[in-house]
């Protein structure tokens, strides 16, 4: 068992942390989180939740917290801009960059970074750090302890933000750790679409440790698209916690393309009656990449509905991990839940570990789940070849189509196009 004191990654971070002198609520939050870090250790493959994901390479890297962000050239990131998004918040190494951001004069919502919105009221203080529990998760605790900036979005009651809000998190410095953070408060009856997008301009390794909290009040409706396109040396640990009140709807699509080792934890709590959630995902990895997705959909109240389609396309010697836990608590009667994990292995050395995990404590529910792991269908390949397509074209087309089913669920056409191009380029290499 590795302990906090024997881990140079953690050691370095701990040494760089200074107890804040002031005692604002925010300082208090950071201090509490750091206290938690002291009681926790880096997870190892001995831990059930990390059984297939060995993050020991991270433990050997003394990457300090990223400080003042260097300048990013617009030309380096412009290709990731989305034409539909009238509002864009850009963070470089976790810190807000107003020059690259565009906070449209938006009467429908309060959108900005933490320091600019702190004086506007106590809403943020009431929510920040409340959903993302740091007591039991060292990465959430570290993110909270080093919390300096955050994207904050408040959609007031019954307001709709009609265009997507693009949160662009750029990694610029290498061999550092950055702590992107996002808080979304969707008040009753509100409606918004958020794109959480991780990119980099560099090729050397870095660590991203992100935390997202979303709170949906009664009948709020949020679309959440997460795109992780880090470089193939990077480490990426992402945590997202979503709370759904009565009859609210949360639809998410997560696309994982990058990082040497990545882990995404999505926790959705259906804490009000009749809440609805869709949590779809596509992982496309190759080489020696490892991508681990852990989702936890917690049906705590009756009449909830959840839908999940998770797909992995694994090429080369890469390794995909999916753990999809669905909890139906004793009073969550008439829950309707489906989960499907479909996986495509493109080589003999590619590997998948998939684990649907249903824990049902109510007796009147409808729950279905399934998992498939396979290679491309020989009959489909033959059919395409019998029409003149080469073996390679046939394989590429089928691989592309496999991923396309998830990408099609993204409601933003420019992002869909960007991703289709990436997937097409990736599937044509093999």
Binding residues vs another protein (CB under 8 A): 377-380, 382-391, 393-394, 397-398, 400-402, 404-405
Residue among 204 and 401 whose Cβ is closer to another protein:
401
**By C-beta, is 297 or 406 nearer to another protein?**
406
Residue 203 Cβ vs another protein, minimum distance, rounded to whole Å = 32
CB of 376 to another protein, least distance (A): 11
Q: How far is the CB of 382 from another protein (least distance, A)?
A: 6
Q: Considering the complex, what minimum distance in angstroms separates the CB of residue 377 from another protein?
A: 8
Tell me how far, at minimum, the Cβ of 394 lies from another protein, in Å: 8
Residue 64 vs 411, nearer CB to another protein:
411
Q: Which is nearer to another protein, 27 or 405 (CB)?
A: 405
**Residue placing its CB nearer to another protein in the complex, 320 or 403:** 403
Cβ density class 264-275: b for 16+ within 10 Å, e for less: bbbbbbbbbbbb
Task: Give the angle 58-93-233 at the CA atoms, nearest 5°.
Answer: 35
Q: In the complex with another protein, which residue's Cβ is closer, 59 or 308?
A: 308
DSSP 8-class letter at 300: -
Q: Which is nearer to another protein, 137 or 280 (CB)?
A: 280
Rounded to the nearest whole angstrom, what is the least distance from the CB of residue 354 to another protein in the complex? 20
Distance CA 127, CA 100 (A): 27
Residue 385 beta carbon to another protein: minimum distance, rounded to whole angstroms: 4
Beta strands in 159-220 (DSSP E): 165-171, 177-178, 181-186, 191-200, 207-216
134 with 33: CB under 8 angstroms?
A: yes
Quick one: 135 or 390, whose CB is closer to another protein? 390
- Report, in Å, the least distance between residue 374 CB and another protein: 13
Which residue number, 76 or 380, has a Cβ lying nearer to another protein?
380
Q: State the Cα–Cα distance between residues 45 and 78, nearest whole angstrom.
A: 39
Closest approach, Cβ 312 to another protein, in A, equals 15
């Amino acid at each position: 068992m590795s302990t906090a004191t024997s881990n140079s990654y953690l050691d370095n971070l701990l040494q760089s942390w200074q107890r804040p002198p002031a005692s604002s609520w925010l300082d208090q939050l950071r201090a509490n989180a750091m206290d938690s870090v002291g009681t926790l250790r880096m997870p190892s493959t001995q831990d059930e939740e990390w059984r297939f994901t060995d993050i020991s390479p991270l433990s050997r890297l003394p990457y300090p917290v990223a400080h003042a962000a260097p300048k990013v050239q617009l030309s380096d990131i412009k290709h990731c801009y989305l034409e539909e998004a009238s509002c864009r918040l850009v963070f470089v190494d976790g810190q807000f960059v107003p020059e690259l951001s565009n906070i449209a004069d938006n009467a429908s919502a309060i959108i900005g970074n933490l320091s600019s919105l702190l004086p506007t009221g106590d809403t943020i203080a009431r929510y920040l750090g409340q959903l993302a529990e740091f007591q039991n998760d060292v990465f959430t605790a570290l993110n909270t302890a080093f919390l300096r900036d955050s994207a904050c979005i408040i959609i007031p009651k019954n307001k709709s933000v009609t265009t997507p809000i693009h949160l662009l998190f750029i990694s610029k410095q290498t061999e550092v750790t950055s702590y992107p953070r996002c808080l979304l408060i969707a008040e009753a009856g509100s409606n918004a679409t958020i794109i959480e997008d991780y990119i980099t301009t560099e090729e050397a390794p870095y660590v991203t440790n992100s935390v997202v909290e979303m709170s949906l009040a009664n009948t709020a409706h949020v679309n959440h698209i997460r795109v992780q396109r880090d470089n193939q040396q990077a480490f990426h640990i992402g945590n997202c916690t979503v709370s759904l009140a009565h009859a609210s709807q949360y639809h998410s699509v997560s696309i994982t393309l990058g990082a040497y080792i990545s882990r995404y934890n999505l926790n959705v709590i259906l804490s009000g009656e009749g809440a609805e959630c869709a949590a779809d995902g596509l992982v496309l990895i190759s080489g020696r990449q490892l991508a681990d997705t852990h989702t936890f959909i917690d049906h705590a109240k009756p009449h909830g509905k959840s839908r999940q389609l998770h797909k992995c396309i694994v090429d080369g010697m890469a390794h995909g991990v999916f753990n999809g836990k669905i909890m139906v608590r004793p009073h969550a009667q008439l829950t309707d839940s489906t989960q499907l994990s479909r996986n495509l292995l493109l080589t003999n050395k590619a590997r998948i570990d998939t684990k649907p995990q249903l824990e049902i404590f109510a007796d009147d529910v409808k729950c279905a789940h399934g998992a498939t792991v396979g290679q491309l269908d020989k009959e489909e390949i033959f059919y395409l070849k019998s029409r003149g397509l080469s073996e390679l074209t046939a394989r590429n087309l089928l691989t592309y189509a496999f991923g396309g089913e998830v990408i099609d669920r993204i409601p933003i056409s420019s992002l869909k196009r960007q991703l289709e191009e990436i997937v097409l380029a990736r599937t044509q290499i093999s």
